[in-house]
Structure 1
Amino acid sequence: MEEPPSAPNPQQAHYEAIHSDYEAHYYDAPSMAYRHRFIYRPLFQDLPLNNASVADLACGSGHNSIALRSYFPTVKTTGYDISDNACRDYERHTGFPAHMADLTLPMPVTESYDAALVIGGLHHCVADLKTSLENVAKMVKPGGFFMMMEPNDDFLMSNVRRAWYRKDKWFEADTEEALRHDALLELGQPYFERHRLTYFGGPAFYAVLNSLILRVPLKAKPALSKILFPAERLYGLLPGRAPYAAFLAVWRRTTIEPG
């Protein structure tokens, strides 16, 4: 007997609905400046990605792939996203291919990559994180890297954030939530091992990068960034993981293959 088709992932409709507003707030000039200073540079540092092939997961319109190539000009990227519109935008903006894919479902992976990148995408895959990580393991060659930025559920304000997820229209609370890095890595084993981990996310993370969520007007962000970027650097001196809204992690792919 054939299995019934899987129900559509609510994240697909949610992303399609907020796509235009999301693009405007998360990829404007102040947000991209934040990404370069506090996400891309620390995430990509010391990685041997020139001439590498990289899978950009939850790729959106391709801004992260374009940024990656500003650090590694010879990198070749391929996008994967749950949204068909995002895949078309990705191909138009980057000149590289993109494939529509739901990471929470088992994927027949036909290509392998030297690395994979996800910026704020895994926490949208909580419907089945284990399957999502197995899919990534199938994509990344042994010895390759998996780079990520995700919201930190060890954050001291996580209870407030969970309540906000449930009430705010910009979230799909049933299928997204912040992540605990150590629990996530445990799900990814034995296919991945930790290479590097840092925590970040202070005042500019909210008011500049997440301006959509806080309803910060786009026109106010250039002035805010001048004030809050220095404060963000100082905030980053705090010890531990509880003060921080997000984490940056680089994992290394082991030689163990998914079954």
Structure 2
Amino acid sequence: MSAATPTWDPAQYLRHAGHRTRPFTDLLARIPELPEGPARIADLGCGAGNVTALLAERWPTARITGYDNSPEMLDKARADHEGGGLDFAHADVRTWVPDGSYDLIVSNATLQWVPGHVERLRDWVEGLAPGGTFAFQVPGNFDAPSHALMRELAASPRWRDRLSGVLRHDDAVLRPEAYLEHLTALGCTTDAWETTYVHLLTGEDPVLDWVKGTGLRPVLTALADDPGARDAFVGAYRSALRAAYPTGPHGTPFPFRRVFAVAVKEA
């Protein structure tokens, strides 16, 4: 089992759509206007298409394609958002190469699933038209309790044989200054930064509910054929999360660091 090939549940992912969309809207606000004329845009790892639709709102005359390798996510995206200049297609971001020239290539919370994604930056920048933009954001919280406790449990004697190599490590993404260096070396004017959001989550075990839509997917996929083992893992993980993220009088604070970059290719 690979950490890059989980089975996705669009409904579970979208349960926290408001919080998950916030980083993309912040990224979108920093993307400069595109060259005049109908733009061509690619969204790598479009998921359920909810943020791809925001691209269509900003550039209504653009030809926008959302790419993803999850049939479940693509079905949801097509059902809810396809039409006009917006469509969706199957592609694996690990191997996707631009077919022609794009004015904007954007990726929202996807590149952390792509081992060695820094080595792909050149292909994507080369696929930009002169003056085009490559923009992305990735979670930078792999050393947070939500992920560290998951890895610790997966590496414990009970689980390590079944879950070895399933989860991503804390070096799944780089620091902003590293992305700045790589993209600048490719001839781009680059803006890179990080932000820590403090989401106030509500409901029972809300951090567990959050990670069930994203970071826990590889474990749930690996144990899908053994419901008893899956429930045992989730139960132990739930207990650890409750201790790490205590509920306050107004909900459960959930700090979440994100890393951003907006790179504009030389015109």
TM-score range relative to shorter protein? 0.5 to 0.7
Task: Note closer, same or farther for the CA distance 1:249–1:108 as it changes in structure 2 (3 Å cut).
Answer: closer
Distance 1:86 1:66 in 2: 14
| Alignment counterpart, residue 112 of structure 1, candidates 91, 95, 101 | 101
Runs of 5+ in structure 1 lacking a partner?
A: 1-7, 217-226, 233-242
Deviation of 1:79 (Å): 1.1
Provide the rounded CA distance (Å) in 1 between the counterparts of 2:133 and 2:31.
12
Task: Indicate the percent of aligned positions where both proteins have the same amino acid.
Answer: 21
Number of residue pairs the alignment of both structures matches: 210
CA distance in 2, matches of 1:202, 1:101: 30
CA positional deviation for 1:60: 0.8
Deviations 1:2-33, CA, capped at 9 Å, x for gaps = xxxxxx85422x1x24443113x232xx437x
Q: Describe how 1:102-141 pairs up with structure 2 within 5 A.
A: 102-105=92-95, 107-125=96-114, 127-141=115-129
Matches within 5 A, 1:14-163: 14=6, 16-23=7-14, 25-27=15-17, 30-31=18-19, 35-36=21-22, 39-41=24-26, 43-45=28-30, 47-49=32-34, 51-92=38-79, 93-95=81-83, 96-105=86-95, 107-125=96-114, 127-152=115-140, 158=143, 160=145, 162-163=147-148
What runs of 5+ residues in structure 2 fail to find an aligned partner?
A: 155-165, 211-249
TM-score by length of 2: 0.62
Deviates more, 1:194-203 or 1:160-169: 160-169
* Equivalence for 1:215: 209
Query: Is this contact kept in 2: 1:58–1:80, CA < 8 A?
Result: yes
Alpha carbon RMSD of aligned pairs, Å?
3.7
Conservation of the 8 A alpha-carbon contact between 1:43 and 1:248:
no
Find the structure with the greater CA-based Rg: 2
- Counterpart AA for 1:75: A
Question: TM-score, normalised on structure 1?
Answer: 0.64
Contact 2:151 2:167 in 1 (8 A): yes
Contact 1:146/1:250 (CA < 8 Å) preserved in 2?
yes
Greater helix share, 1 or 2? 1
| C-alpha contact (below 8 Å) 1:80/1:100 kept by paired residues | yes
**SS at 1:202's partner residue?**
strand
The equivalent of 2:258 in structure 1 is 246
